[in-house]
Amino acid sequence: MNGERPLTRDMKPDGEPLSLQEYERAGGYRAVRQALRMAPEAITRLVSDSGLRGRGGAGFPTGQKWSFVPLGAEAPHPKYLAANADEMEPGTFKDRWLLEGNPHQLLEGMMIAACAIEADVAYVFLRGEYTLAARRVERAIAEAYQAGYLGRHPFGADRGLELYLHVSAGRYMCGEETGLLNALEGKRANPRAKPPYPQVSGLFGKPTIVQNVETLACLPHIITHGAAWFHGLSRGVDAGSKLYGASGKVKRPGLWELPMGTPLGELLEEHAGGLRDGLKLRGLLPGGASTDFLTERHLDVAMDFTHVEKAGSRLGTGTIIVLDDRTCPVGMVWNLEEFFAQESCGWCTPCWSGLRWAERLLDGLERGQGSEADLDRLEWIVKFCAPGNTFCALAPGAVEPLGSALKYFREDFMAHIRERRCPWS
């Protein structure tokens, strides 16, 4: 662990974005020139060796994802790259930092990914509510075109790269890989059945890679400093630094770039300042709304993909949501399931039917109209929405906080049934 913060080191204290000149003065756009001199396979191998795993929530190895894209003279073109900047996972606000603070870093990461898969067209898929990020990314794209870093012969290269900003019009489903592709095609953001995988047949039926903003922002640094350096950033088994965040009733909610594998307790106590005075920790979601609750006994868990999974949850987006003892756990889970039920696209039955049913049951429990049989029904819905029963990860993710809440906060659910009211209201 070398304590470096490559993703946020060059950002300005006032939060203003780096201009192209400022980004270059800090060493920017050197890595892409280096990547242009490498064979695509060599870039993919380097990224595989670095151990980079996707920062959007699923943690899929980035190099492995790229390796399925057909290369060379026989490959179909145009090939596409999409930066997933549709940050809408409740409790997650990390990509906003990168988009607003250093948009050129994202663009350079996209250029490098485009080299690796020989992409011709790239889109930044940005959620509509990120209006400041939209202005800054748009400006950075214009600067990059003006400098000749995008367009027909970027940096004098043979292969061109067009890069556009697409501002979305809402819906959580747009952040799902294949939902995003449908949204970019101007359709409803329903998921697609896989196979075919997007790497082979994605946007407009052409090979496509969809990659989270933070993942892409890592790429210039991996190209510049190498795989071993990237491993050295981490304290855990997974490589790199990581953007972590905390929200809820902690003393200092915020965002920090820290070594991957920073223990949960250190994140909560040292960085977020612990809970506000007079409050006690009941539990937390380690990586956004669609991750299982962890509790006090998990505070020594290293916040990397491998260890959080061993603890029964997922690293997800790495932004923790803290539940204190003055907030009702049943109410919190109701709020989460209300979100997921609303955002279900309606494509498959376990999701549209199961999640709304769960939300109705939780609403009843919260109002003091629940019974023990409702808890059995909720347990059944958790199984009904398990991976494999649905087209995409929305419903399986949605029931992670529900299933774990039934396990860790059983007594609180029972109190609602016994007292026929919410004890917190």
Instruction: Enumerate binding residues for other proteins (CB under 8 A).
Output: 78, 87-93, 95-96, 123, 127-132, 162, 164, 166-172, 183-189, 204, 245-249, 253-255, 285, 289, 319, 321-324, 327, 331-332, 335-336, 339, 342-343, 345
Instruction: For other proteins, give the closer residue by CB, 63 or 175.
Output: 175
- Least distance to other proteins, CB of residue 91, Å: 5
Instruction: For other proteins, give the closer residue by CB, 162 or 309.
Output: 162
**Angle at CA of residue 367, ends 363 and 372, nearest 5°:** 75
Q: Kindly give the pairing relationship between strand 241-248 and strand 319-324.
A: parallel
- Least distance to other proteins, CB of residue 64, Å: 28
Instruction: For other proteins, give the closer residue by CB, 271 or 298.
Output: 271
Q: Compute the radius of gyration of the chain from its Cα atoms.
A: 22
- Least distance to other proteins, CB of residue 29, Å: 23
Instruction: For other proteins, give the closer residue by CB, 77 or 410.
Output: 77
- Least distance to other proteins, CB of residue 121, Å: 8
- Least distance to other proteins, CB of residue 161, Å: 13
For 278, the token pair is: 């007079």
The residue among 281, 302, 285 whose CA lies nearest residue 397 is: 285
147-155: which pairs have CB atoms within 8 A and are 24 or more residues apart?
147/20, 149/29, 149/32, 149/107, 149/111, 150/107, 150/111, 154/111, 155/32, 155/33, 155/36
CA dihedral angle for residue 100, residue 102, residue 108, residue 112, rounded to 10 degrees: -80
Instruction: For other proteins, give the closer residue by CB, 236 or 248.
Output: 248
- Least distance to other proteins, CB of residue 125, Å: 11
- Least distance to other proteins, CB of residue 332, Å: 6
- The CA distance from 283 to 142, in Å, is 45
- Least distance to other proteins, CB of residue 285, Å: 8
- Least distance to other proteins, CB of residue 55, Å: 15
Instruction: For other proteins, give the closer residue by CB, 239 or 246.
Output: 246
User: Contact 362/333 with Cβ under 8 angstroms?
Assistant: yes
Instruction: For other proteins, give the closer residue by CB, 91 or 191.
Output: 91
Instruction: For other proteins, give the closer residue by CB, 215 or 291.
Output: 291
Instruction: For other proteins, give the closer residue by CB, 239 or 328.
Output: 328
- Least distance to other proteins, CB of residue 318, Å: 13
What distances in angstroms separate CA 9 from CA 4, 26, 98, 135, one per listed residue? 8, 10, 11, 22
Q: Kindly give the pairing relationship between strand 241-248 and strand 121-126.
A: unpaired
Instruction: For other proteins, give the closer residue by CB, 241 or 247.
Output: 247
57-63: which pairs have CB atoms within 8 A and are 24 or more residues apart?
57/89, 57/212, 57/287, 57/288, 57/290, 57/314, 57/316, 57/317, 57/397, 58/393, 59/238, 59/305, 59/314, 59/315, 62/211, 62/215
Residue 258's contacts (CB-CB under 8 Å, 6 or more residues apart) are 5, 241, 242, 244, 267, 271
Q: Give the other-Cβ count within 10 Å of 408's Cβ.
A: 18
